[in-house]
Amino acid sequence: MPELPEVETIVRDLSPRLRGRPLRNPQLFKTDVLRGISSSRFLRVLRNNRVEDVTRRAKHVVILLASGERMVVQPRMTGALIVYDRRLRADERRYVVLRATLGNGSILVYRDVRRLGTITLLDQARWEAYTARIGPEPLTSEFTGERFIERLSGTKQAIKKAIMDQRRIAGVGNIYANEALFRAGIDPSRRTDLLSSDELHRLYRTVRHVLRKAVRAGGTTVRDYRNGTGGIGSYQRTLLVYGRGGDHCTRCRTILTTTHAIDGRATTFCWRCQSVAR
């Protein structure tokens, strides 16, 4: 699932290719990805609208249009937002949900195999309400260790669940929560309110570290994730625990454990390196 680093990569790829371009002849082949807008109104707003800017908020791609509206795309498990500067191959055409030509021979495509992703169109007021519900961006300079601790205060939830809660902190999902907790030596099931200030500061540093490194690597491709030009990321080579259940811990050689008991998602950890008394 695209998390902060994957969506950041998509945005960096798309931004120079979309900025200033008109969305010509937009076509929507499946309407079930739309949220809060009819397909006819969606297409009417898009048609010949110009892209002013492409940014990221949490795990969402935000395309600001000249009309002032924002098209917000959340690719989730199987979606990909790609600009092609050539004709699409048959296999690439297969799962196209939305396409528009950009007036320079390039094509913007939103493709989604299982259509788990969503697209919405927000005016300024609805955008402000939308973004206000999401927590702060963890890679900004204003996001200090104190801010991190403050966002996690007052909850008995498992720490892994708390750092993945988008209302508390933006952009962290299952992959980077697993990785950051391992690097910080914290048991993912620990109660957030029982963690020490030292542990939280350590986790603050590892969360930022894995997100930064993954942005630099162009994200993690484990299944369907593709960047904004259809390529793959490389952070999967750096993963220490995610997807490695049953393998040896890189630090102590203990067999890594995978559990679904914390939040229904796969949590992989080392019971030795991530125990309370370490």
SS3 168: coil
- Sheet containing 24-28: give its strands across: 24-28, 96-101, 107-112, 79-84
Point out the catalytic residue in the list 2, 5, 138, 188. Answer: 2
CA separation for the pair 37, 32 (Å, rounded): 11
Q: Is 59 a catalytic residue?
A: yes
CB of 183 to Zn ion, least distance (A): 11
Q: Is 3 a catalytic residue?
A: yes
Point out the catalytic residue in the list 19, 147, 265, 272. Answer: 265
Q: Is 213 a catalytic residue?
A: no
CB of 208 to Zn ion, least distance (A): 22
Cβ distance to Zn ion smaller for residue 180 or 273: 273
**Token duo for residue 126:** 């609805």
**Token duo for residue 215:** 């942005």
CB of 182 to Zn ion, least distance (A): 8
Cβ distance to Zn ion smaller for residue 181 or 249: 249
Residue nearest to Zn ion (CB): 249
Tokens 């959340």, residue? 74
Point out the catalytic residue in the list 3, 6, 8, 179. Answer: 3
Cβ distance to Zn ion smaller for residue 59 or 183: 183
Cβ(62)–Cβ(8) under 8 Å? no
Cβ distance to Zn ion smaller for residue 7 or 203: 203
Cβ(152)–Cβ(192) under 8 Å? yes
Cβ distance to Zn ion smaller for residue 129 or 252: 252
CB of 202 to Zn ion, least distance (A): 16
Cβ(69)–Cβ(123) under 8 Å? yes
Q: Is 47 a catalytic residue?
A: no
Give the phi and the psi of residue 129 in degrees, each rounded to 5.
-65, -40
CB of 241 to Zn ion, least distance (A): 9
Q: Going along the chain, which residue ranges are E strands? A: 24-28, 34-35, 51-57, 60-65, 70-74, 79-84, 96-101, 107-112, 118-122, 257-259, 267-269
DSSP 30: -
CA separation for the pair 62, 54 (Å, rounded): 6
Cβ distance to Zn ion smaller for residue 17 or 244: 244
SS3 12: helix
- Cα 152 to its chain centre, rounded Å, is 20
CB of 254 to Zn ion, least distance (A): 5
Chain residues binding Zn ion by CB under 5 A are 249, 251-252, 254, 270, 272-273
Point out the catalytic residue in the list 17, 56, 57, 59. Answer: 59
Task: Give me the active site residues, please.
Answer: 2-3, 59, 265
